[in-house]
Structure 1
Amino acid sequence: MRAPIGDFDTATPAPDCLDELIAPVADAVRDWPGAVPAEQVLYVETDPRWADTAVFVEHYGRELLERSANCVVVAGKRGGATTLAACLVLSTTKVHVNGVVRRQLGARKASFASMDTATGETGMEYGGITPIGLPATWPLLVDPAVVDLPWVLVGSGRRRGKLLVPGKAFAHLPGAVLVEGLGA
């Protein structure tokens, strides 16, 4: 199948390649919750040498810069309690961690989670964290600009491979909350 965006050799419906996905992502695809059929979530094989955004778009298509989203893990702290959450914003923006995220989580302080926390809690590789397959108890804060795109490139849970997902699917993931001004 031809990918709807980017210059990829092939795009495979995620339910047809569960063995290529790490366990939490494969489980999420198996138990897909959304209004968008799971078959519309596409997996594309990519070379991890080109995982960094600037090199990635040079190799797989410059239009992907405007159609990619980053998923980052954040930690909100209040008193002795820490709340982990994920934020999904366009790759051309930055997450407003100490403003919008902190207020949304009701935290006194918010910051990006450490690499060990992000990978340990998600079961995903650093640089490949995806909103699909996150712990069900986490809030998933989504910038509405991501949902508005017809197709979005996101991580697959590993540095090798990406997912192409209809933007509206992100609004239906477990814990998803649309947050205006999340990315700027």
Structure 2
Amino acid sequence: MTSASGNLTWHVASASTDLLAPPVVDALGTVPSARVAPIDASLADTAAFCEAYDVGLEHSANCVVVAGKRAGEVRYAAVMVLASARADINGAVRRHLDVRKISFAPHDDAVALTGMEFGGITPVGLPTGWPVLVDSAVVAAGDVVIGSGIRGSKLLVDARELAALPGAEVLDLSVPVRVD
């Protein structure tokens, strides 16, 4: 049986800041439960990470940056869903952000705006004013593994703390992943 902690060795995040992106270090006070573990950066992508480190998909939460447009204005937001589901970007997220068009933010924009590595982006330490849309299933999952701002580590946090991040809103944002 898999768990959130998997087979990783977790350390108090505030004592291992070398494993975090600078914006995440600056925002550690928003996630007091945060623990960090080093990982092989080549295994940072969700499926490879969960398999290699024995972390259940139901305990791994992905953060994606979206960009929506309305009347020429670009609105960025972070969306958190469990790895066992997918975000309803074109439905629930688009309607909530009140934008006509929405898509995943371009790679270079996401990296430049967040100060984090692509594949390690996390809701902890995002730019001020960004909405952080957290799927209700993430909060219900208890402890979850999320990005650390870099590909070479992961954070383990109490998901309720994600719901308390600046700009966070808990919504029903996901649809199950179809397995054929």
TM-score (norm 2): 0.92
> Of the candidates 89, 98, 108, which is equivalent to residue 100 of structure 2?
108
Alpha-carbon separation, structure 1, partners of 2:145 and 2:59: 6
SS of residue matched to 1:24? helix
Superposed counterparts of 1:81-120, under 5 Å = 81-120=73-112
Superposed counterparts of 1:25-174, under 5 Å = 25-29=24-28, 32-33=29-30, 38=32, 40-61=33-54, 63-174=55-166
The superposition leaves residues 123-180 of structure 1 with CA deviations (integer Å, 9 ceiling, x where unpaired) of 0000010010111210000001101122100010011000000111111101001111
SS of residue matched to 2:85? coil
SS of residue matched to 1:124? coil
Give the structure with the larger strand fraction.
2
Q: How many residues align?
A: 173
The alpha-carbon deviation at position 4 of structure 1 amounts to 6.2
Is 1:64–1:153's contact at 8 Å kept on the other side of the alignment? no
Matched to 2:13, the amino acid is A
Is 2:133–2:170's contact at 8 Å kept on the other side of the alignment? yes
Aligned-pair identity (%): 48
Structure 2 residues not aligned, in runs of 5+: 176-180
Range with greater deviation from structure 2 (48-57 or 138-147): 48-57
Alpha-carbon separation, structure 2, partners of 1:83 and 1:52: 26
Alpha-carbon separation, structure 2, partners of 1:4 and 1:158: 19
SS of residue matched to 1:174? coil
Alpha-carbon separation, structure 2, partners of 1:79 and 1:164: 39
Structure with greater contact order relative to length (CA < 8 Å, sep ≥ 6): 2
Alpha-carbon separation, structure 1, partners of 2:38 and 2:18: 13
SS of residue matched to 1:19? helix
Matched to 1:91, the amino acid is A
The superposition leaves residues 70-119 of structure 1 with CA deviations (integer Å, 9 ceiling, x where unpaired) of 00000110011010000000011111111111111111111110001111
Indicate the residue corresponding to 2:168 in structure 1.
176
Is 1:87–1:141's contact at 8 Å kept on the other side of the alignment? yes
SS of residue matched to 2:56? helix
